[in-house]
């Protein structure tokens, strides 16, 4: 009996032990299998990255999670690929096997110079939340299968050559917060399904060829903060009154389309709106008084609005543009429209007189502030006759342009060649003396160029920029003519021409002595500072060069040629095609194509050195970059056509300008000063940069000397 029990116990124990060992074996086998599968998956990711050809050389010697632009989770699986601005010249999206990255959530290939089409297999990245393909050279159509990326929060395919329709399947991207399709070749209508994307805060489909009416469903996007559908040119119909339901909108741009009908007063209910651009459409009817607001910048220009501008806008004329509405009138002569001719009641006249005086006082006060801020209290600059008599060109903004146009034709004898004072690829510049004796400069586009959409856009960019600017060192625009066969700009006449031409002429260069050159450089700095820090939104010139600095009879400088200028909005990428003059373009634009104020800062540095040297500083900059300028003396590189400066103040100003110029030319834009900091240094006239004499100071002395910049606006 006892033996039998013992045998049974042993048997049971053996069975239990066998089962446990079997379970452990199976568990170990399972773990081994899972580890093996994970190892294979990680190897597949590394192979896919390497096979793409986007990484090479020393980049691939380490573990792939250490490669540039790669981020992995704690298991070693790729979660982020960020190669923004890495310049993958000629590479295509087809070269990366996206199905090998099951954990990829962030893919940023913006400004990488990729080519080709967007592959269908991108829709297999099921966990993707961030997709940036902006500013490349992608073509073809948008794959409807991208609508399967249900986790996507941000989709940016701006600035490519994508054509075809916007897929209706994009309405399935219910998690989407940002959708940017700006600056492509998209056509067709806006799919109503986009109105299902109720989480959207930004929708930008501007600068395409979209047509048809605005779908009413878009007004369901109650969380939208920015809506930009501008520059499609074929969007028609009316602005739906339901747009007033979009209470969170701060930025609304519907400009340069074919919209018609009245401007709905429901826009006045959008209390968060700070920017409204309806220009370049066919909108008619009266201006709704409820749109007047101290915080709202509005552009009504180039529509078919009529009637009288409501009094409610009177305190805010500086924020509103009414230009180009032939049937719109105003009792104030500087609003950009012609004066009303209707008779007024006694009460109306009193109100208008009070209103006129109020606006005059406000404008005068603002002008005094600007003059005081930039230290121009003791300098005067002619602004021409501003009366509103028939034929006076200086009232072209305020009066019927037909008479002014006739004066231009008569003054130039229909743009006879004998009045031409300069030519360029875009057209010619003419000098014209008007009946009142005023002399103006006319920049006229050739007939063929006037029909070119890109040049018409540049033309309007210059008009829109200059009409908002009032600064003594920025060229004054008196008016313009816009027509398919005849386009010209009317400027104040600058007798001495461009800074480039004056520096190129030995006799005139001597006339531009050291003190005058210092003043020219400072005036350029003050103008750029005004554009960058006093305008809202900021204006970046993008083509600051000695060719675009003009001099008047007193050799005072004005910044000109704003055809490529760009308004910077803090909530946009500010990416663009390359613009500017070779030799003045900031180096980062070659690979990022992102416009910032620091691009102008770099160009200013080149112009400042060129003004002091009398020639472009390319050889000097090359020597500095190769460290072969250590023993180069300042007196050797400055303009040898002038005698050395003797005035101590002028010498110190030259030292300061050279020092600041080299700071402006730093390769990394982060370390360049802002134009506000540059202007403050010029105005401060603080402690001397060096105690050495002009002949004893070297470039290395200046480059190593200390200039204390206020870091308030440093990026």
Q: Each residue of 587-643: pLDDT tens digit? A: 887 666 677 889 999 999 999 999 999 999 988 888 877 666 667 889 999 999 999
Instruction: Quote the mean pLDDT of the chain.
Output: 79
Sign of the torsion angle spanned by Cα atoms 536, 542, 546, 551: negative
Q: Each residue of 60-111: pLDDT tens digit? A: 678 889 888 899 999 899 999 998 887 777 789 988 888 889 999 999 999 8
Residue 443 counted as an annotated binding residue: yes
Using alpha carbons, list the distances in angstroms from residue 714 to 54, 674, 710: 34, 6, 8
Q: What is the pLDDT of residue 447?
A: 59
Task: Report the C-alpha gap between 586 and 574 in whole angstroms.
Answer: 15
Asked if 138 and 113 count as a contact pair (C-beta separation under 8 A), the reply is no
Q: Each residue of 188-198: pLDDT tens digit? A: 999 999 999 99
> Pairing state of beta strands 202-204 and 226-228?
parallel
Q: What is the pLDDT of residue 613?
A: 95
Q: What percent of the chain has pLDDT over 70?
A: 74
Contacts of 286 (CB under 8 A, 6+ apart): 262, 305, 306, 307, 308, 310
- Cα distance from N-terminal residue to C-terminal residue, the chain: 93
* Predicted confidence (pLDDT) at residue 295 exceeds the cutoff of 70: yes
What pTM was computed for the model?
A: 0.50
Asked if 135 and 83 count as a contact pair (C-beta separation under 8 A), the reply is no
Task: Report the C-alpha gap between 703 and 715 in whole angstroms.
Answer: 21
As a residue count, the chain comes to 715
* Predicted confidence (pLDDT) at residue 22 exceeds the cutoff of 60: no
Reply yes or no on whether 600 is catalytic. no
Strand partners, 443: 429, 489
143-147, 210-214, 370-374, 694-698: the lowest-pLDDT one: 370-374
The one catalytic residue among 135, 331, 543, 639: 543
Q: b/e string for 308-320 if b means 16 or more Cβ within 10 A? A: ebeeebbebbebb
DSSP H or E run through 276: strand 275-277
Q: What is the pLDDT of residue 198?
A: 93
* Predicted confidence (pLDDT) at residue 362 exceeds the cutoff of 50: no
Backbone angles phi, psi at 356, to 5 degrees: -65, -45
| 157 or 335: which leads in pLDDT | 157
Task: Report the C-alpha gap between 123 and 126 in whole angstroms.
Answer: 7
User: Exposed/middle/buried for 515, CB within 10 Å: 0-12, 13-18, 19+?
Assistant: middle
273-282, 309-318, 458-467, 641-650: the lowest-pLDDT one: 458-467
Contacts of 510 (CB under 8 A, 6+ apart): 641, 642
Cα-Cα-Cα-Cα torsion 372, 375, 379, 380, nearest 10 degrees, comes to -40
Asked if 576 and 566 count as a contact pair (C-beta separation under 8 A), the reply is yes
DSSP letters along 463-526, please?
HHHHHH---TTBPPEEEEE--SS--EEEEE--TTEEHHHHHHSHHHHHHS-HHHHHHHHHHHHH
């Amino acid at each position: 009996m006892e033996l039998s029990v013992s045998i049974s116990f042993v048997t049971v124990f053996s069975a239990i032990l066998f089962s446990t060992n079997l379970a452990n074996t199976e568990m170990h086998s399972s773990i081994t299998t899972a580890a093996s599968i994970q190892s294979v998956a990680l190897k597949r990711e590394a192979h896919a990255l390497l096979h793409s050809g986007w990484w090479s050389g020393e980049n691939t010697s380490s573990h792939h999670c250490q490669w540039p632009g790669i981020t992995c989770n704690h298991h070693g699986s790729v979660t982020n690929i960020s190669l923004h601005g890495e310049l993958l010249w000629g590479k295509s999206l087809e070269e990366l096997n996206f199905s090998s990255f099951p954990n990829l959530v962030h893919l940023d290939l913006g400004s990488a110079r990729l080519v080709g089409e967007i592959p269908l297999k991108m829709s297999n990245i099921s966990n993707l939340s961030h997709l940036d393909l902006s500013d490349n050279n992608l073509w073809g159509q948008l794959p409807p299968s991208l609508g399967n990326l249900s986790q996507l929060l941000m989709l940016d395919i701006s600035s490519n050559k994508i054509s075809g329709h916007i897929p209706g399947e994009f309405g399935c991207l219910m998690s989407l917060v940002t959708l940017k399709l700006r600056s492509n070749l998209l056509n067709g209508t806006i799919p109503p399904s986009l109105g299902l994307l109720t989480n959207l805060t930004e929708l930008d489909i501007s600068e395409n060829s979209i047509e048809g009416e605005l779908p009413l469903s878009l007004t369901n996007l109650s969380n939208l903060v920015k809506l930009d559908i501008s520059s499609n040119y074929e969007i028609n119909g009316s602005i739906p009154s339901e747009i007033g339901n979009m209470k969170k909108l701060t930025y609304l741009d519907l400009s340069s389309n074919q919209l018609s009908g009245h401007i709905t007063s429901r826009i006045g209910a959008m209390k968060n709106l700070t920017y409204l651009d309806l220009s370049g459409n066919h909108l008619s009817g009266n201006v709704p008084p409820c749109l007047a607001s101290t915080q709202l910048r509005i552009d009504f220009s180039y529509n078919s609005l009529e009637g009288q501008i409501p009094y409610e806008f009177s305190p805010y004329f500086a924020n509103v543009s009414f230009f180009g509405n032939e049937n719109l009138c105003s009792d104030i002569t500087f609003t950009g429209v012609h004066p009303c001719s209707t008779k007024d009641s006694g009460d109306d006249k009193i109100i208008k007189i009070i209103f006129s005086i109020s606006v005059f006082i406000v404008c005068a006060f603002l002008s005094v502030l600007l003059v005081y801020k930039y230290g121009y209290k003791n300098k005067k600059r002619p602004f021409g006759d501003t009366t509103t008599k028939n034929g006076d060109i200086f009232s072209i903004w305020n009066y019927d342009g037909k008479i002014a146009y006739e004066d231009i034709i008569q003054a130039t004898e229909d743009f006879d060649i004998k009045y031409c004072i300069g030519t360029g690829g875009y057209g010619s510049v003419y000098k014209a003396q008007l009946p009142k004796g005023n002399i103006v400069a006319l920049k006229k586009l050739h007939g063929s160029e006037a029909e070119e959409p890109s040049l018409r856009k540049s033309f309007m960019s210059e008009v829109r920029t200059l009409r908002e600017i009032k600064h003594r060192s920025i060229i004054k625009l008196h008016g313009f003519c816009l027509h398919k066969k005849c386009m010209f700009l009317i400027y104040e006449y600058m007798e001495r021409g461009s800074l480039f031409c004056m520096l190129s002429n030995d006799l005139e260069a001597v006339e531009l002595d050291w003190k005058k050159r210092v003043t020219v450089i400072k005036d350029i700095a003050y103008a750029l500072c005004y554009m960058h820090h006093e305008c809202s939104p900021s204006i970046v010139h993008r083509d600051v060069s000695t060719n675009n600095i003009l001099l008047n009879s007193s050799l005072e400088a004005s910044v000109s040629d704003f055809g490529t200028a760009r308004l910077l909005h803090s909530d946009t990428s500010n990416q663009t095609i390359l613009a500017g003059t070779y030799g003045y373009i900031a180096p980062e634009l070659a690979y990022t194509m992102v416009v910032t104020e620091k691009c102008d800062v770099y160009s200013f540095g080149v112009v400042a050195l060129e003004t002091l040297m009398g020639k472009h500083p390319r050889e000097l900059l090359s020597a500095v970059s190769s460290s072969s300028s250590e023993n180069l003396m300042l007196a050797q590189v400055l303009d040898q056509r002038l005698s050395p400066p003797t005035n101590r103040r002028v010498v110190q100003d030259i030292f300061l300008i050279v020092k600041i110029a080299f700071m402006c030319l730093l390769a990394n834009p982060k370390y360049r000063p802002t134009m506000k900091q540059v202007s403050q240094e010029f105005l401060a006239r603080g402690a001397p940069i060096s105690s050495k004499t002009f002949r004893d100071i070297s470039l290395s002395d200046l480059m190593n000397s200390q200039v204390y910049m206020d870091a308030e606006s440093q990026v």
